[in-house]
Structure 1
Amino acid sequence: MGREGRVRRRAGRRTNVALLVLLVLAFATGWAAFGTGTATPGWIVTVLHGAASLALVLLVPWKSLIVRRSRAFRSASWHAAAGLVLGVLVAVSLLAGVVHVLGGFRSYAGLTPMQVHVGAAMLAVPFAVLHVLRHPQLPRRTDLSRRTLLRALWLGGGAAAAYVAVEGVARGLSLPGQDRRVTGSFEVGSDRPEAMPVTQWALDAVPRVDVATWRLRVGVAGRQVAELDQDALLAMATDEMRAVLDCTGGWYADQRWRGVRLDRLLPASLPPDARSVVVVSVTGYARRLPLRDVPFLLVATHVGDRPLSVGHGAPARLVAPGRRGFWWVKWLDRVVVDTRPWWWQPPFPLQ
């Protein structure tokens, strides 16, 4: 192989390494953005996610040259087909993300851009793993050169400029994207509960709850300390708070909630080894929260001046200020104080 060929091969490998790093960064920050609330880290993660995604676009011309020169592409093998599928899925995810950022929360053919963005990214994962196993591209010591650093700075600067340009388009054309929250969500139905979308996490679905037989069970370290029917819970529902429900589906709503503070349902004295509280839905959906959050959690029975609708969690749902919507467990079945730490669970629900 001549000198020109070796240079071309090294440049191709470095492009592939950069693409791999950016794909991992975009995927990781995307999931991290799902978990962040309204604090500064949420803004930083969202910006990193957008910049990493746009940097992928900037590398497309270089990657297209690599693909056209590859033997697998010229031979039309199944490896080339798998790589093509990966490229299409990444492109669809990026395009859907831009549409969401600029166009706001809306549906197209029954799907929102955020659903397409996340769905395409998830489908791309096995193809990305297969591609990496087939064509491993590991960093080398020789990559840590001044030239590589300058190229990385140019790429980072280009991604930052592209991010600013997208923001500028949204503001310059007065598109919905100029009003999105730091989490990337758009306002839908604030102080208008009837306008809030009815959404659930993944495979969870709106259940049929028989209010006549429904009970909210409260337990501490393996023993039940209370059981309340709807009438008993409504009689206690005198606590109010304003809180923003920020759904990972791409929308948020600022509402006034009424119900019972969770600490009023628990004994005044808890076991010294208590570390978390597990909140479980009648569907089996569950989240474990830190015990320190208990004074700020509300078992809500009303939103605005209206009783909760079934779609929004009736007879009772959790309100968890500062946390994303998947922590706001709907259709409460039981609340249990536990000795295990709150992080003793998957970072995102599996149901």
Structure 2
Amino acid sequence: MSGKRLRTVFARVQPAPRLVDWSLFVLVGLEVASGLLSFTVGRPSGWPVFEFHRIAGVTIVALLAFKLYRVRRRILDRDRWMPSTAVSVLTAVAALGALSTGFLWVAGLDVRIAYWTLLSVHVGFGLALVPLLIAHLSTRFRPPRRVDFEGRRTAVRFAGLVVASAVVLRLQRLANAVLETGGSDRRFTGSQPREGAGNAAFPVTSWVADDPDPIDRDAWALSVDGLVASPIDLEFGALEPDAEREALLDCTSGWYTVQRWSGIRVGDLLERVDAEADATHVRFVSVTGYRWTLPIEEARDAVLATHVGGERLSHGHGGPLRLVAPGRRGFQWVKWVDRVEVRDRPDPAQWLVTLISGFD
């Protein structure tokens, strides 16, 4: 297609410049929000969060194409550069990095860049894009005008973008199935399977700075206290694994595994300490300070695992004791548990602790 004809096509289909800019800003915000929310979704009923994230991502591709085509001369002509141009270029790099790594991951490419999977790199680009986009917007702020958002043609164009994005996703999934790429056996979360049984079957991952030294089982003990009539401390030798559960662990770094976990049913533990009637939540605390809280009825069905696939849990997988919480994402399966607290309220501060635990 000739350059003149391409310009004619773009002129006919592209929305107003301000509409493109503000749509990108809103969609990036929604992408970050839905991406972070997706970290907490482990049950199939949460699939709309992931579907929205993917469709919005494809829509951003089209809008970004309009944006880059419009400003191409300003970027390519170094004589027209201003101090704010560097921020604009960095913003474009972060956006293209987030989009490209996301699409490669969805297409089935499973490679590691140093310590990180492509999905982790995708998240990193996405988080970096937020402050860069705000900085870019502050240097070229143009408030939206009502006229830019009005008109039947504008509505039709945006509806067409969304429908086209959904169609592209369907075609991509069909291609994965036909070509038998690594994207054809994903969960709805996008995670890829890790086969086998036991410690060696799935990767060792740590959340942020959680990386304690191996735990001396002879010196370790599990404390169970809080709103209980009979708090206890259990040494490792006193633990009697009597519960087994086949459960799916879905890690936010992009993989999942189905394993048979054995250990202590939390419900049995709560009966042993006689949890009080007004208890509503159970908090599981790691030796690193990391913690997560479950509603008490959900916690009763969870397991504090000592073994996986018939093997004693390795240190990297949370030994001597790890929470197994079916339906939750991997970062909520607390490793190296040494304290269980029965509470009468949730623990919103756990979100902050996930970012600072493990730091001295």
TM-score (norm. length: structure 2): 0.87
Verify the 8 A CA contact 1:279 1:332 in the aligned structure 2. yes
- For 2:194 and 2:109, locate their aligned partners in 1 and report how far apart those are by CA, in whole Å: 10
Verify the 8 A CA contact 2:15 2:157 in the aligned structure 1. no
Residue of structure 2 equivalent to 1:277: 282
Matched ranges for 1:35-54 at <5 A: 35-41=40-46, 43-54=47-58
- For 2:78 and 2:64, locate their aligned partners in 1 and report how far apart those are by CA, in whole Å: 16
Residue of structure 2 equivalent to 1:6: none
Instruction: Using the TM superposition, give the Cα deviation of residue 45 of structure 1 relative to its aligned residue in structure 2, in angstroms.
Output: 1.2
Which of the numbers 208, 231, 237 marks the counterpart of 1:202? 208
- For 2:203 and 2:132, locate their aligned partners in 1 and report how far apart those are by CA, in whole Å: 33
Verify the 8 A CA contact 1:37 1:324 in the aligned structure 2. yes
Residue of structure 2 equivalent to 1:214: 220
1:24-64 C-alpha deviation (Å, 9 max, x unpaired)? 122111112111012222x2111111111111111233101
Instruction: Using the TM superposition, give the Cα deviation of residue 221 of structure 1 relative to its aligned residue in structure 2, in angstroms.
Output: 3.4
Residue of structure 2 equivalent to 1:78: 83
Matched, 1:132 2:137: yes
- For 2:347 and 2:124, locate their aligned partners in 1 and report how far apart those are by CA, in whole Å: 28
Verify the 8 A CA contact 2:228 2:276 in the aligned structure 1. no
The 3 A distance-change label for structure 1 pair 348 and 106 is: farther
Residue of structure 2 equivalent to 1:160: 166
* DSSP 3-state at the match of 2:276: coil
* DSSP 3-state at the match of 2:177: helix
Verify the 8 A CA contact 1:242 1:254 in the aligned structure 2. yes
- For 1:283 and 1:293, locate their aligned partners in 2 and report how far apart those are by CA, in whole Å: 24
Verify the 8 A CA contact 2:108 2:181 in the aligned structure 1. yes
Which of the numbers 224, 232, 238 marks the counterpart of 1:232? 238
Residue of structure 1 equivalent to 2:127: 122
Instruction: Using the TM superposition, give the Cα deviation of residue 326 of structure 1 relative to its aligned residue in structure 2, in angstroms.
Output: 0.6
Matched ranges for 1:164-313 at <5 A: 164-221=170-227, 225-233=231-239, 236-267=240-271, 269-313=274-318
Q: Which amino acid aligns with 1:13?
A: R
Verify the 8 A CA contact 1:13 1:137 in the aligned structure 2. yes
Q: Mind listing any 5+ residue stretches in structure 2 that lack a counterpart?
A: 1-13
- For 1:244 and 1:36, locate their aligned partners in 2 and report how far apart those are by CA, in whole Å: 13
> Number of residue pairs matched?
341
- For 1:91 and 1:223, locate their aligned partners in 2 and report how far apart those are by CA, in whole Å: 57
Matched, 1:332 2:328: no
The 3 A distance-change label for structure 1 pair 286 and 345 is: closer
Instruction: Using the TM superposition, give the Cα deviation of residue 309 of structure 1 relative to its aligned residue in structure 2, in angstroms.
Output: 0.7
The 3 A distance-change label for structure 1 pair 289 and 139 is: farther
The 3 A distance-change label for structure 1 pair 10 and 318 is: closer
- For 2:279 and 2:134, locate their aligned partners in 1 and report how far apart those are by CA, in whole Å: 40
Verify the 8 A CA contact 2:88 2:136 in the aligned structure 1. yes
Range that drifts further, 149-158 or 268-277: 268-277
* DSSP 3-state at the match of 1:122: helix
Range that drifts further, 283-292 or 132-141: 132-141
1:198-227 C-alpha deviation (Å, 9 max, x unpaired)? 001122224321111101111123987010
Matched, 1:24 2:15: no
Instruction: Using the TM superposition, give the Cα deviation of residue 192 of structure 1 relative to its aligned residue in structure 2, in angstroms.
Output: 4.3
1:117-174 C-alpha deviation (Å, 9 max, x unpaired)? 1111112221112123333455444314322211110110121122122222212211
* DSSP 3-state at the match of 2:320: coil
* DSSP 3-state at the match of 1:212: coil
- For 2:15 and 2:43, locate their aligned partners in 1 and report how far apart those are by CA, in whole Å: 43
* DSSP 3-state at the match of 2:183: helix
- For 1:162 and 1:115, locate their aligned partners in 2 and report how far apart those are by CA, in whole Å: 23
Matched, 1:59 2:59: no
Q: Which amino acid aligns with 2:203?
A: P
Range that drifts further, 273-282 or 66-75: 66-75
Which of the numbers 99, 109, 112 marks the counterpart of 1:107? 112
* DSSP 3-state at the match of 1:59: helix
- For 1:129 and 1:73, locate their aligned partners in 2 and report how far apart those are by CA, in whole Å: 23
1:248-299 C-alpha deviation (Å, 9 max, x unpaired)? 0000000000000112122464334322111111111111221221221101
Residue of structure 1 equivalent to 2:17: 12
- For 2:214 and 2:100, locate their aligned partners in 1 and report how far apart those are by CA, in whole Å: 37
- For 1:133 and 1:179, locate their aligned partners in 2 and report how far apart those are by CA, in whole Å: 43
Instruction: Using the TM superposition, give the Cα deviation of residue 339 of structure 1 relative to its aligned residue in structure 2, in angstroms.
Output: 2.0
Q: Which amino acid aligns with 2:166?
A: A
Verify the 8 A CA contact 1:206 1:310 in the aligned structure 2. no
Residue of structure 2 equivalent to 1:3: none
Residue of structure 1 equivalent to 2:11: none
* DSSP 3-state at the match of 1:349: helix
- For 1:35 and 1:17, locate their aligned partners in 2 and report how far apart those are by CA, in whole Å: 28
The 3 A distance-change label for structure 1 pair 348 and 325 is: farther
Q: Which amino acid aligns with 2:252?
A: T
